[in-house]
Structures are given as C-alpha cells and as structure tokens.
Amino acid sequence: MRLKRLLEVALVAPALMTAAPAYADAVAGQGLTRYGRVSAIAKETVTIDQGCARDKPLVVPWSQIEFIKIDADCATHPVEPPVAGLVPCTGNKMAGFKVYLSGAPEPATAKAVWRSGDEINYEQFNGTVSSGAYSALKGIVRTTVCLAAVGDDDVHVEGFCDEPRQLAVNYAPSAVSDNTIFTRGFAIYVEHLTGDERAAAEGPNDEDIRESFGSALTLWTSALLRMKNAGRLPGDLTAYVNASVSRGGAYSLLTPPQVVRVRCRGNAMVVVRVGEQAARFQLAGGRAIALSQTEGRMLFLNTEQYRFKNGLHGPVSPGDIELVSVMTHELGHSFGLRDVGAVGAQSVMSAEFLNPFTNVVEPTDQDAEAFVAVLKQSIAGAAPGVFNSEMCSGLRDVRPVRARVFLQ
Ligand SMILES: [Zn+2]
C-alpha cells in the first residue's frame, strides 16, 4: 500500500514541474548568469526571482550586470548578449544602456531604465522619458554610449509615449499634508474622447483647462493663506504657506502649486476628460456640468452640452459656464470635500452658490475651514484616471430650464 502511494507521488511530480510558470529571463554579469523571472527593474538594481518556481528573489546592482534578457522559455540555456546597435566608440563616452524592444529596428539608447507596473521606461540622453508596455522589452545591455552618436532629436518607438525633459524636472511633487492628493505640483493629462467636436471647435482647449486648473488651485491655496492670517492653520500647512509666499517691500506674492500638462497619460497625477457622452452626466436631480471622483484624480467636463470659458479673461456670457469655478468645485471633491446642499449655503461646494455659473467664485471662510479639515485627514485617494461612479460627485445645473436652451 505504501509503495503504491510512493509510486503515485513519483508519477505526479513531473506533471507538477511542467505546470510551473514558464519564465526564464536571464540576468548576466561578471561570469555569473541567473535565470528566473525579472520582477523589478529600478534605476540602481534589478530583481530576479530565481528559478521557474519564482520563489527566490535576488537583488543585483546594475553595476554587476552586463545585460538582461527577457525570455518566456523556462530552461537554463546559455545566453548571449544582444549585439545590434553596439558600436565601438573612440570619442567621448558615457555610461548608458541599450534597450531592445520588439517592433523597434534599432535598440534605444538610454541613460536610465526602470520598470513601473506594466510599463518599461527609459530616459534618453536629451532628457525625454519614453514609456510603453513592459511586454515589448526583449533585453537591456549596460554599455558605454558614444556621445557623438546621441542625437538631440527624440527617437520614437512605435507604441511608446515620449515625455519631454521639462516634465521630468517638475514631476513627482510631494504631498503638503496628510491628504496626499493636494501636492506642491500637479501633472495633468487632458484626455479627448473621439467625437469631441464641440470642445475642438469652441473650447476649452488643453491650455484653457491647464490654466483654469491652476487658477482653481490658486484659489484654494489663497484660502489657506487666509486661514494662516487668522491664526487657524496647523503647523505643517503654515510651513507650506510660508514657503509659498515671497515678500518684498509692501508686496507679497503667493506661488500656488504649479500645473504642467503631460503628453503621456501614465505620467499624469490627475486626468481631465472632455468629450464624454452626455449620458454620463444624467443625475437623479438633473444633469451635471462636470463630474469628479471624490477623493480621487479624475475630472469630467460636460463639453457635449456646455461651453466653458475662463472668467479671469473677461465676462462670461449667460449660457456659457465659467470654468475656474467649475474646477474649484470639482477639485474640492478630488481633495475629499462633499457637496453642500443647504439652502443659502456660502460655499463653492454648493451648486446654488455658483449659480448662474458665469462668475469666478472664491472659496469662502466655510470652505477654507472644510479644506483644512480634509487636508489633515489621511487620504490617499483613487489612482489617476480611476473613476468609480459610486464615489463621484456632479456639479448639478440648477439654472432655470430656459437658460440651457442655448446649447441644446
Ligand atoms: Zn459637486
């Protein structure tokens, strides 16, 4: 009986082995090659889960690596480094990488390579950061790069998104307080859905959106300044406001969080979507001018049914919608504020208070208090571009029906 059991185990074991995940990437350097699955690529190190069982992670510094090869075949076979695009160099050299991607005839030349989630990213020598699907990665060789051979022009790989240098400088701003949605800088991505004819023809264009987003942040930051002047701001927020205000003589200048517009959606901290179908904006109590994810990083503008104008550039005619106030309201939701529904409420979070939606409306003292309270909560919020309709808030159009006919 016991022998039979042992035989059964012996028969089953080979089947279990072949059912193991088939990963045999290789990390090679200094006469040593490790096989398994490359699970992380950081700027300083590479992590490989050794063996097909993927249970022994090994962190290897890039300085000890000559090349890595991505290979779905689960076998410890000899590997040779890729050689395409490696040209001997007699002039000035710099440490760098060659990145081999499927679909690219030549390897990309990079000064840094790293993986983030399902994306592989590499920084070109001109500062452009390119990002695309990790599944496109075939291998990376650590090498010296001929500076004379590195052009100033962007090298584009099909299916990859190229983000110019200026954004690498402004990117990854830090949170101001416990609520990590309000940061010292914002990278926004304006997403246009197809069929967005009205916004394309009448605005708002991407720059209008960036500017209004920035103006709304200025209004919220000014609310913090007022709270500070009233002596009602907690320590970390006081330090932030002090660092944001520069004084000279009789003047003081408030520098609010800066807003940059990114080309690649994956680099955005907030996604603003325009050209959404009107059906999304149908609410129980009417229709919405805009929507946002509460405690989140996604806004929708109802450009199919409304025309938006930045009120800081001049009066907004009845029938149009003032965009800075809409952004102020929706960003309030992003930071975690809820709609204020009470009749006569003095709050930008009240649609009645913003009515008729043609003026720039600043956060009130009530809003400033609520804003400080929400910044002191530990809120991480939804990821950029994530929209969950159960946690969204709409800015309801509360104007008389005839005022809406203009845009029907
Ligand atoms: Zn709302």
CA 37 / ligand 1 centre spacing (Å)? 46
Q: What single string gives the DSSP state of each residue in 273-321?
A: EES--GGGGEETTEEEEEEEETTSBEEEE-TTT--EE-GGGSPPPBTBE
Longest dimension (CA), the chain: 96
214 sits in which H/E element: helix 206-229
Give the pLDDT confidence score for residue 196 in this predicted structure.
63
Report whether pLDDT(158) > 50. Answer: yes
Residues 98, 239, single domain; the answer is: no
- Amino acid identity, residue 79? V
Is pTM, for the whole model, over 0.85?
no
Q: How far apart are CA 268 and CA 113, in angstroms?
A: 19
Query: Does 112 lie in the same domain as 219?
Result: no
Q: Is the pLDDT of residue 358 over 50?
A: yes
The H or E element spanning position 323 is helix 323-335
| 375 shares its domain with 304 | yes
> Would you say residue 10 has pLDDT above 90?
no
Q: Cα angle vertex 124, ends 120, 129, to 5°?
A: 50
Q: Strands 112-116, 45-50: parallel, antiparallel or unpaired by DSSP? A: unpaired
Q: How many residues does the chain have?
A: 408
User: Over 50: is that where the pLDDT of 43 sits?
Assistant: yes
Task: Measure 290 CA to ligand 1 centroid, in angstroms.
Answer: 8
Q: How far is ligand 1, taken at its centre, from the CA of residue 354, in Å?
A: 11
Say whether both 216 and 300 belong to one domain.
Answer: yes
Look at the chain and report how many structural domains it folds into. Answer: 2
Which pLDDT score is estimated for 246?
A: 82
| pLDDT tens-place string over residues 288-314 | 999 999 999 999 999 988 999 999 999
Q: 400 C-alpha vs ligand 1 centroid, how far in Å?
A: 18
* Digit-coded pLDDT (tens) for 378-400: 999 999 999 886 666 778 888 87
Q: Is residue 171 part of a domain?
A: no
Answer yes or no: is 265 within a domain. Answer: yes
127 and 257 share one domain: no
Are 137 and 278 part of one and the same domain? no
**Can you give the C-alpha Rg of the chain in angstroms?**
27
So what's the pLDDT on residue 3?
46
SS3 180: coil
Please give the distance, rounded to the nearest whole angstrom, from the Cα atom of residue 333 to the centre of ligand 1: 7
Burial of 266 (0-12, 13-18, 19+ CB in 10 A): middle
* Phi, psi for 20 (deg, rounded to 5): -65, 150
pLDDT score of 5 = 45
CB 159 within 8 A of CB 134: no
Q: Which parts of 98-171 fold into alpha helices (H)?
A: 165-170
Tell how far the Cα of 232 is from the centroid of ligand 1, in angstroms: 26
The predicted structure's pLDDT at residue 188? 95
Res 7: pLDDT:
39
Question: Is the pLDDT score of 348 beyond 80?
Answer: yes
> pLDDT grade, residue 198 (50/70/90)?
low
Distance 295 CA to ligand 1 centre (A): 12
Q: How far is the CA of 370 from the centre of ligand 1 (A)?
A: 14
Q: Which two tokens stand for residue 30?
A: 């200094």
User: What value does the mean pLDDT take over residues 235-245?
Assistant: 91
> Which CATH number fits the domain that encloses residue 338?
3.40.390.10
Query: How far is the centre of ligand 1, averaged over its atoms, from the C-alpha of 342 (Å)?
Result: 13
Q: Are residues 154 and 237 in the same domain?
A: no
Q: For residue 69, is it within any domain?
A: no
Domain containing 231 equals 185-407
The answer to the question of residue 291 being in a domain is yes
**122 and 193 belong to one structural domain:** no
106's tokens: 């030549």
Residues 291 and 389 in one domain: yes
Residue 259 placed within a domain: yes
State percent of the chain over pLDDT 70: 83
Tell whether 199 and 258 lie within a shared domain: yes
The two beta strands, 93-101 and 161-163, are: unpaired
Dist. CA 14 → ligand 1 center (Å): 60
Residue 196, CA atoms < 13 Å, CB-side half-sphere: 20
Ligand 1 is an ion; residues with CB less than 5 A from it: 339, 393, 395
